[in-house]
């Protein structure tokens, strides 16, 4: 099982609980209660589509717990023990991983549960202690939201089955897609492109949304400038990446309150170490979100300096510094000189996937809702396409941009499975790459990187 250790380290440096991330105080995996918690969380995460169980953190304060930490963490939470207890009680065999990132000289166990479930996973046998059942046979455990939108592990209820079956069908559809590709090798690329163009065209909303998105970007950029002035913030020269999302269709009523933030935060899959539309309530006082004209806004004072807007009426915006202009590692380029193609693909794919998760969490009708995205990149002129962020990737170093800004638009229906995201990601990034001396990236590369993001294998 492939594991991105950098992502695991980020999880304990900036922990946030969501449907894909469970925080637990220190537990004893040799005691019945500890075994039950690990098994039920693992089964629930598997049914959710993969995730992480982080042990040794207070799920209210999000702070690490040092006082109760055992001295032999790696031995107590050894992979053989964890894998064994999950295998014993799971109706389906699946591999997990255990990593031990460090924070303040303390090891913290992180159990990684992979994606790929095709049929709901249930407990296959009972487990009891002192005449109390801790695990019940034939019970399906899921990740769900409580009445105040706090994520938890629970037995599947009627409201959970739609999403559970959707996850299973998405994974089956991915397998079917790979099967079809293997058996359509005789069809020309032109024929496939024509078919794809027709399918995409038919899935577009009947009304154009580009003007609406352009206006929304301008409105949000104006709010960003006002936030900088209010905070008296001056940023160094940089390029930026913006995303505007508008839900097209009937959006159920939501209020601009803490429950709305809980709902979005719990539904964010947290695919990356710096997730898009991240919850900043626990980061710092000056970074906490605030309400302006019925919209949640936040301006982060560090990192990629995200400026976010979350509108309960179905509009979302984020502006962040290009990572190419922020010194994040020794391999980081000089600012304003490069654009990493891989980071671009990953960020666009994450935005689309999280947008789908938000729309579903807000209760939008699957068959009557679509998502309209605008992606904008600035300060491009003079940059070259690069692969600096990942030495395993390579790209020729002679593709330069002579245009300073690019905006692309993508529309997709809410019932789009995650396995179909690559075509929409490609639609968003190819016009950007073409600005760099007409560069065209193979669609297989976009598909592979998008799938790795969704499957948490970056």
Instruction: Please state the rounded mean pLDDT for residues 190-196.
Output: 60
Read off the pLDDT band of 159 (50, 70, 90). Answer: confident
Whether residue 251 is found in the same domain as residue 396: yes
pLDDT tens digits, one per residue of 74-126: 999 999 999 999 999 999 999 999 999 999 999 999 999 998 888 899 999 99
Instruction: Please state the rounded mean pLDDT for residues 273-280.
Output: 90
| The pLDDT of residue 458 is above 80 | no
Q: Which residues contact 452 (CB under 8 A, 6 or more apart)?
A: 458
103 φ, ψ (degrees, to nearest 5): -140, 125
Q: How far is CA 415 from CA 117, 194, 350, in A?
A: 19, 22, 17
| The pLDDT of residue 17 is above 50 | yes
pLDDT at 196: 58
438 φ, ψ (degrees, to nearest 5): 70, 20
Instruction: Please state the rounded mean pLDDT for residues 224-246.
Output: 94
Instruction: Please state the rounded mean pLDDT for residues 307-332.
Output: 93
Whether residue 22 is found in the same domain as residue 136: yes
* Mean pLDDT over the full length of the chain: 90
| The pLDDT of residue 455 is above 80 | yes
| The pLDDT of residue 178 is above 80 | no
Among 37-46, 143-152, 371-380, the minimum mean pLDDT is found in 143-152
Whether residue 326 is found in the same domain as residue 380: yes
Residue 420: in which H helix or E strand, if any? none
Nearest CA-CA partner of 397 in 426, 435, 342, 437: 437
Nearest CA-CA partner of 259 in 169, 361, 126, 342: 361
| The pLDDT of residue 205 is above 50 | no
| The pLDDT of residue 37 is above 90 | yes
Instruction: Please state the rounded mean pLDDT for residues 245-259.
Output: 96
Percentage of the chain beyond pLDDT 70 is 92
Among 70-79, 82-91, 147-156, 423-432, the minimum mean pLDDT is found in 147-156
Among 57-71, 154-168, 400-414, the minimum mean pLDDT is found in 154-168
pTM above 0.85, yes or no: no
Read off the pLDDT band of 7 (50, 70, 90). Answer: confident
Decide which of 102, 136, 163 is a domain's last residue. Answer: 163
Whether residue 159 is found in the same domain as residue 284: no
pLDDT at 201: 58
Whether residue 149 is found in the same domain as residue 259: no
Whether residue 99 is found in the same domain as residue 186: no
Q: How far apart are CA 64 and CA 57, in angstroms?
A: 4
Domain with residue 99: its CATH number is 3.30.950.30
Whether residue 180 is found in the same domain as residue 244: no
Whether residue 178 is found in the same domain as residue 231: no
Whether residue 191 is found in the same domain as residue 103: no
DSSP-based three-state secondary structure for 327: coil
pLDDT at 274: 84
pLDDT at 221: 97
Question: Which residue spans within 315-360 are E strands per DSSP?
Answer: 315-321, 338-340
Range of the domain at 332: 210-454
Domains of the chain: total: 3
Q: How far apart are CA 33 and CA 134, in angstroms?
A: 7
Whether residue 340 is found in the same domain as residue 368: yes
Sign of CA dihedral 319, 445, 179, 410: positive
Q: How far apart are CA 444 and CA 437, in angstroms?
A: 21
């Amino acid at each position: 099982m492939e594991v991105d250790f950098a992502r695991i380290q980020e999880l304990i440096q900036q922990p946030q609980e969501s449907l894909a991330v469970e925080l637990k105080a220190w537990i004893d995996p040799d005691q019945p209660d500890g075994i039950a918690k690990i098994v039920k969380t693992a089964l629930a995460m598997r049914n959710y589509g993969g995730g992480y169980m982080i042990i040794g953190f207070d799920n209210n304060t999000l702070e690490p717990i040092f006082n109760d930490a055992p001295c032999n963490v790696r031995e107590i939470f050894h992979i053989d023990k964890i894998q064994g207890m999950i295998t014993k009680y799971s109706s389906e065999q699946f591999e997990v991983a255990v990593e031990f990132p460090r924070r303040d000289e303390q090891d913290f166990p992180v159990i990684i549960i992979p994606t790929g479930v095709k049929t709901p996973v249930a407990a296959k046998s009972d487990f009891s202690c002192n005449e109390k059942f801790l695990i019940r046979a034939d019970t399906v455990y899921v990740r769900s939201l409580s009445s105040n939108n706090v994520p938890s592990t629970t037995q599947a209820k009627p409201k959970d089955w739609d999403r559970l079956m959707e996850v299973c069908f998405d994974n089956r559809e991915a397998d079917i897609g790979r099967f079809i590709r293997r058996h359509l090798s005789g069809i020309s690329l032109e024929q496939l492109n024509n078919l794809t163009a027709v399918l995409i065209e038919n899935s577009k909303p009947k009304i154009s949304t580009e003007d609406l998105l352009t206006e929304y970007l301008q409105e949000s950029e104006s709010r960003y400038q006002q936030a900088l002035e209010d905070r008296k913030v001056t940023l160094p020269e940089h390029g930026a990446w913006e995303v505007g999302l508008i839900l097209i269709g009937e959006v159920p009523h939501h209020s601009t309150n803490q429950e709305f933030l809980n709902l979005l935060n719990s539904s964010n899959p947290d695919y990356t170490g710096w997730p898009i539309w991240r919850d900043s309530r626990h980061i710092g006082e000056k970074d906490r979100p605030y309400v302006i004209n019925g919209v949640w806004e936040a301006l982060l004072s560090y990192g990629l300096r995200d400026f976010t807007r979350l509108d309960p009426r179905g509009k979302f915006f984020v502006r962040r510094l290009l990572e190419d202009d922020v010194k994040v590692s020794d391999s980081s380029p000089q600012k304003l000189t490069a654009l990493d193609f891989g980071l671009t693909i990953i960020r666009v794919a994450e935005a689309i996937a999280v947008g789908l998760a938000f729309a579903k969490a807000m209760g939008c009708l699957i068959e009557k809702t679509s998502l309209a995205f605008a992606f904008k990149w600035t300060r491009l002129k003079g940059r070259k396409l690069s692969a600096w962020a990942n030495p395993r990737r390579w790209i020729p170093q002679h593709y330069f941009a002579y245009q300073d800004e690019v905006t692309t638009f993508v529309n997709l229906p809410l019932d789009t499975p995650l396995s179909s995201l690559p075509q929409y990601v490609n639609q968003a990034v190819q016009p950007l790459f073409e600005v760099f001396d007409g560069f065209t990236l193979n669609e297989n590369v976009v598909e592979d990187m998008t799938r790795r993001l969704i499957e948490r294998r970056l």
